[in-house]
Amino acid sequence: MENMVNVFLMGKKYEVPSNLTIMGAMEYAGYQLVRGCGCRNGFCGACATIYRIKGESELKACLACQTKVEDNMYVATLPFFPLEKKIYDMEKIKPTEQIMMQLYPEIYSCIGCNACTKACTQGLNVMQYIAYAQRGDYEACAEESFDCVMCGVCSSRCPAGISHPQVALLARRLNGKYLAPKSEHLEDRVREIKNGTFEELLEGLMGKPISEMKELYNNREIEK
C-alpha cells in the first residue's frame, strides 16, 4: 500500500499517494487538466499554483508539475498571474535606458524587498535582473533572467506591481537583436531554407511511412 496523504483541491478533501506532484494528484483525484498543464516538466510556467499547509499562515506559490504533495496541503490554481504586457515594435525601439522608462516605468518603484527572488520557481535572482534593467544593462539582465519560464509568480508577490518576466523578455529581445554577436551559421541556414535548399529532402521524408520515420529519428546523427 502506498503512503497516502490528505490534500484539499479546490476546497474538497482527497487521499492521494505521497509521491505525486500536485498536478499528478489532481489527475489522480479525477480532474481532467486541459489548460495550465503545458510541458509537465517545469519549462513552460503554465501551472503556477498557490497552496498553504494546514496550521501555517504562509501562502506559498509553486509550479504544480514540480512540487510534490504534502499532508494537509490546501491547493488552489489561478487562471493567470498579473503580468502587464506592453506592445512594441522591435524594429523601432533601441537598447537605451529610456525604453524601459517608457514601457515599464514601474521597475523604478522597486523597494528592494526581494520578495520576487524568494518566490521565483526557478531560483533566479529576480531583483538583481530588475536592477540591471533599471541601469540599461540589457546584456546582464538577459543573462540573469535566461531560465525564466514566464510563470509570473514573482509578480504576484511584488508590492510595486512590476511585471518581471515581461521586463526580462524585453531585455533578452534587445540583447539578441542589438547587442549579442551575430550568429552567422544561423543566418546561413535561414538563407538556405528561404532558397528551398531542403524542400526535396523534406518532401522525401513526408512520403515515408511512420515506422521508417521512427527508425531514421532513432538513428539520426546528433551534433556533439
The domain that holds 33 is classified in CATH as 3.10.20.740
CA gap 124, 138 in Å, rounded: 16
Q: What pLDDT is stored for residue 79 in this prediction?
A: 65
Nearest residue to 69 via CA among 5, 136, 153: 5
- CA 106 to chain centroid, in Å, comes to 21
CA gap 8, 84 in Å, rounded: 31
In the chain, at which residue ranges do the beta strands (DSSP E only) sit?
4-9, 12-17, 48-53, 60-63, 73-77
> What is the per-residue pLDDT across 30-63, written as a single tens digit (0 to 9) for each?
888 877 777 887 788 888 888 999 988 888 888 9
Measured in residues, the chain has a length of: 224
- Say whether both 47 and 13 belong to one domain: yes
What average pLDDT does this structure show over 77-95? Answer: 84
Tell me, yes or no, whether 186 lies in a domain: no
Q: What pLDDT is stored for residue 224 in this prediction?
A: 64
Give the count of domains, the chain.
3
DSSP one-letter string for 97-110? HHHHHHH-GGGGG-
> What is the per-residue pLDDT across 128-183, written as a single tens digit (0 to 9) for each?
999 999 999 999 999 999 999 888 889 988 999 999 999 999 999 999 999 999 88
Tell me, yes or no, whether 119 lies in a domain: yes
Its domain, for residue 51, covers: 4-77
Q: What pLDDT is stored for residue 41 in this prediction?
A: 78
